[in-house]
Chains A and B, each alone.
Chain A
Amino acid sequence: MEANNRMELSFLSLSENESFARAAVSAFVAQLDPTVEELTEMKTALSEAVSNAVIHGYEKNQGMVRIICSLYGATVELVVEDQGVGIENIEKARQPLYTSKPEQERSGMGFTVMEIFMDQLEVVSEKGSGTRVTMVKRLGR
């Protein structure tokens, strides 16, 4: 399907860019006039995916995080990509409370938040080459 509108954003995997990513995506999806709740849910899910790229994808290294936001009618698709370490066992990673970094006080709830706040979540990853998270939310339901 052809998107009605689309934007792409790339930034270095620094944690201070997390709020920038949320603000940019919020401003872009504003054209669909989402409710405050819908917007909060999208921002929170995005924040989880971006912080995962920063924390887990690149760890102590730096790399680029890419966001692609596409609008299909009243449907928002958010893609967050990194070219970091990748995920060996996606099924395990997606389980609530699973975290590979408990010492950094991660809660293991990131994927659960994405799943609950969005209508669809797809994770594609390969060890050593990176991770792509695709999330879809249909507005006004």
Chain B
Amino acid sequence: MGVSFREKGNILFIRLSGELDHHQAEEIRRRTDRRIEEKDILDLVFDCEEVRFMDSSGIGFVMGRYRKVKEKGGRAVILGTSSYADAIFEMAGIYQIIKKCGDEKQALAYCRQER
């Protein structure tokens, strides 16, 4: 499992890949939270296109990070999902809470709306 990051201003792009289970989620959560603190992140863009396996730990990871930025007025969007990630997000009703965007432009526009 991998996670890689890139920033655009206060927006953090979180790119997940490989297998996201309970074991991997703990390490990814630590690394993501550190990045959010260090780079003074407000909004999150989750990219799950390269995820090859996901169980309900993925729901916990995404919702947990979302709650974290929401406390300070941030937003989160999901940009791209593999069929594995999509099945779990759909089942958990995540898209009712976190918007799914078709492309990066849309994701950026959503995050940059007036607060």
Q: Footprint of B on A, CB under 8 Å? A: 15-16, 18-19, 22, 40, 43-44, 47-48, 51, 54-55, 104-107, 109-110, 112-113, 116
Residues of B contacting A: mostly = helix
Interface mask (B1-30 → A, CB under 8 Å = 1, otherwise 0)? 000000000000000000101110110010
Q: Given A47-B21, A51-B21, A116-B91: A105 and B55 within 8 A (CB)?
A: no
Q: Given A40-B84, A105-B64, A107-B92: A113 and B56 within 8 A (CB)?
A: yes
Separation of A106 and B22 alpha carbons in the complex (Å): 9
Q: How distant is B27 from chain A, measured CB to nearest CB, in Å? A: 10
Separation of A28 and B57 alpha carbons in the complex (Å): 24
Residues on B with beta carbons closer than 8 Å to the beta carbon of A43: 53
- Option from A22, A55, A104 in Cβ contact (under 8 Å) with B53: A22
Residues on A with beta carbons closer than 8 Å to the beta carbon of B108: none
Q: Is the CB of A15 within 8 A of B60?
A: no
Separation of A110 and B56 alpha carbons in the complex (Å): 6
B1 closest partner in A (C-beta):
A19
Point out which of A22, A51, A107, A112 has the most chain B C-beta atoms below 10 A from its C-beta: A107
Assuming A40-B87, A105-B64, what are 13 further A-B pairs, CB within 8 angstroms?
A: A15-B22, A18-B21, A40-B53, A43-B53, A44-B54, A47-B22, A47-B53, A105-B25, A105-B60, A105-B61, A107-B60, A109-B91, A112-B56
